[in-house]
Amino acid sequence: MCGIAGLCDFSKNQINTNEIELMVKALKHRGPDDNGIWTEHNVALGQTRLSIVDLKPTGHQPMISNNGRYVLVFNGEIYNYKELAQQLQKEGVLFEPTGDTRVLLEACAHWGVEKTLPRLNGMFALGLYDRAEKTLVVARDRFGEKPLYYTYDGCKFAFASELKALKKVSFFNSKIDEEALALYLRFNYIPCPYSIYESCRKLFPGHYLIIKDKGCENKCYYSLKTAFDRRTLLNLPEEELINTLDAKLQNSVKDRMICEVPIGAFLSGGIDSSLMVALMQTQSKAPIKTFTVGFKGDYCDESKYAEAIAKYLKTDHTTVYILPEELWESATEAVDAYDEPFGDASAIGTYVLSKQFKKHVTVAIGGDGGDELFLGYHRHKWLPYLSGIGKWFPNSFLKFCEKTNDVLFSCRRPILHTQLNKGLHSLKAKHFIEAYINSVSYWSTRTNLSNTWFHENESLGCNAEQVSYLDLRTFLHDDVLCKVDRASMAVGLETRAPFLDYKLSEFAMAIPLNQKFKNHDKKYLLKRVLSKYIPQSLWDRPKMGFGMPLAQALRTSLKMDFDNLLKKDTVLWKYLAKSQVQRLWNEHLINAQNNELLLWNFYVAQRFLLK
C-alpha cells in the first residue's frame, strides 16, 4: 500500500524535480516506510511505501522493468500475483517474482497494459511510463478501492493518490467546481468523475487513461454494467449455493490474509464483519486481533455485540471507548484527510479506530461490499415498493406524513426518522432512478448528473437487485471505499475487503433474486453462511450502521464553531437558503428536531470553503 504521484510535461520542458518531491512528501502518511523518485527529462514519478509484501529493498519504487523500457509506481495489492508469475514464466519471461509490484510490471512489459489489467485480482491504482513510446498510463481497480486523482491542461498532466499532492504542482487550478459542490450537497459526497476543483478529476473504477503528446484517452477495461447485463443466472439448490458461497468467501479471505506484517480485523458485531472475522479465525492458529469502537451510553454503540462475538470466536479483542469530547477533538483531522467535502460522519469513528488499530497491526480486514452485493441496506427492501406509487398520494398528504415523522421520531428514534424521511421523498419520484436518487439525497439541490454514473443508469427497472446495482456503481466507491481508504491511510493502515474479489462479486450478481432475497430477508445467504460459524442469537438484530453521536456534539462541542460558520458568506448560499439552515439549526439546538445529517453536511462544506 502506498501513495503514488506523477508528472508529465508534453511541452518538452524539463520537469521541476522540486514539484515531485513536494508531491511525494504530501503523501508520506500513506507510506511511511520508504519513498522514491524517478525523473527523465519531462517525466517524473514518485511513491511513498507502506511495506506489506516483499519487505526487502527489491520492493522499492518507482520500479524499472527488466528490459528497461517501463517505469511503474503502484498503490495496492495484487492477490493473484503468484499465478500471474507462473503464467509469465511459462511464456518464457525470465525474472525473479519477488512481489506483486515486480510481477505487475513484468506482466505489463510482456502482455501490455490493456491485456494485463483484466487479469488482475486486487485493489490498485498505478502509473506506468513507456520510455520508448513516451506514453504514460494511469489505471484504477474494478471497484475503486484505491483512489486516483488527475489534472490535465492539454499539455501538462499530473496524477496522485490524494488531492493534497496534486495541489503541489505549479499548474494546478484551485478554482472551486460549483457543480461538484451542488452534487456534494445532494449526495453527501462528490461522485466520480468530479472533484471539488474544476481542474481536477477522479478516474472512474475499472478505467485507465493513456496520455501522449497528442492528448489523453479514457478507456474502460472492466464495466460493472456489462458484467451485470451479461451474467448468467445460477441454477443451484439452496444448500449447494450456500456451500459454494462459503468456499468462495473462504478463498477470498485467505488471499487477503497474505502479508508479511501483523494483520487484524474491524469487528462491529454486524453480519459482514462478523463473517469476515469468523472466516479469518478458521484459517489462523493464533487468535485474530479484532477491534471495535464504542460510545458509552449512546444509542449507536454496538460494542457489546462485537464483544460477544469476539468472545465466542476467541479472538484477541480490543474495544476502543471514545468519549464525545475525544471524538470531536479528532474530527478536524478526520475531515481534513479527505481534501474535499465528505459528509459521512462515520469517517470520524473510522479514523479514530484506525489510529488505535495501527498501534497493533498494519493490515485490517473489513466487511465493505457485503451490503451492496447481498442486499443489506433498508432501501433494498422498501424502495422497489415505493417507486412510482407516489402519484396516487396528494402532495398535501405526503407533507403531512413528513411533519408527523418529524414530530414523532426525529429526536426519539433518529435512525427510523431518517429511513422514513428518505422513503417519503422517494414516493415523490416519477420513475425508479429518481426514486433511488431521492432515497440517498440530503439537500434537494439542483444537480447535473449527465457526467456521472447516475445518468448512465436511467433506463433501469425497479427491484431490489437494481437498487443493489446502483449502490455498487455509485455509493460504494464514492462513499464507503473513499471513507475507509482516507481514514485508514491517514495513519498508514492498509485495509482489505474480501467481498470485493471480482470473481466473488460476479458470483453474487449471478445469484437469482428469489434466492438472494428470500422472503425479503436482507442478506439472507450471508446469514445462512454465518450461522455455520456463529450462533444466530449473537448477531440477529436490526441493522444499525456505523453511526456517530453527532446530534449532541452539534449542540455542545461544535456549537460555537457552527454559529460562526452560519455567519460567513460563501458560494454555498447560492444553493442553500440561509433562513432554512438557520431554522434547522434552531430546531436542533432546542431538541425539537434532530437535523444532524443536514447540519453536518452543511458544516463540512462551509468549513472547507473557509479554510
* Mean pLDDT by groups of 10 residues along the chain of 611 residues: 91 87 96 91 93 74 96 96 96 91 97 98 98 97 98 95 97 96 97 97 98 93 90 93 98 93 92 97 94 72 89 94 76 93 93 90 95 93 74 68 67 63 70 85 89 74 85 96 97 96 96 92 96 94 70 89 95 95 94 91 97 86
Last residue of a domain, one of 221, 248, 263: 221
Secondary structure element (H or E) that encloses residue 123, with its range:
strand 122-130
Q: Which of 386, 381, 387, 423 is nearest to 402 (CA)?
A: 423
Residue 420 sits in the same domain as residue 565: no
Per the domain annotation, does 62 fall within a domain?
Answer: yes
Per the domain annotation, does 382 fall within a domain?
Answer: no
Whole-number pLDDT of residue 196 = 98
Whole-number pLDDT of residue 1 = 66
Number of domains in the chain: 4
Show the domain range for 43: 2-221
Residue 296 sits in the same domain as residue 279: yes
Residue 314 sits in the same domain as residue 240: yes
Which CATH number goes with the domain that contains 117?
3.60.20.10
Per the domain annotation, does 266 fall within a domain?
Answer: yes
Residue 350 sits in the same domain as residue 479: yes
Whole-number pLDDT of residue 408 = 62
Contacting residues for 433 by C-beta, under 8 A, at least 6 apart? 454, 457, 458, 460, 470
Q: Which of 456, 514, 434 is nearest to 225 (CA)?
A: 456
Last residue of a domain, one of 416, 443, 461: 461
Last residue of a domain, one of 396, 426, 461: 461
Q: What distances in angstroms separate CA 92 from CA 66, 81, 89, 128, 191, one per listed residue? A: 13, 17, 5, 22, 43
Residue 332 sits in the same domain as residue 291: yes
Residue 213 sits in the same domain as residue 314: no
Burial (CB count within 10 angstroms: exposed 0-12, middle 13-18, buried 19+), residue 90: exposed
Residue 498 sits in the same domain as residue 563: no
Whole-number pLDDT of residue 400 = 67
| 542/376 Cα distance (integer angstroms) | 11
Residue 167 sits in the same domain as residue 53: yes
Q: Cell 461538484 maps to which residue?
A: 180
Per the domain annotation, does 110 fall within a domain?
Answer: yes
Whether 44 and 9 have beta carbons less than 8 Å apart is answered as no
- Please state the pTM of the whole predicted model: 0.93
411 is catalytic: no
Per the domain annotation, does 167 fall within a domain?
Answer: yes
Residue 410 sits in the same domain as residue 498: no
Residue 90 sits in the same domain as residue 171: yes
Residue 100 sits in the same domain as residue 25: yes
Whole-number pLDDT of residue 377 = 92
Per the domain annotation, does 486 fall within a domain?
Answer: yes
Residue 418 sits in the same domain as residue 482: no
Whole-number pLDDT of residue 321 = 83
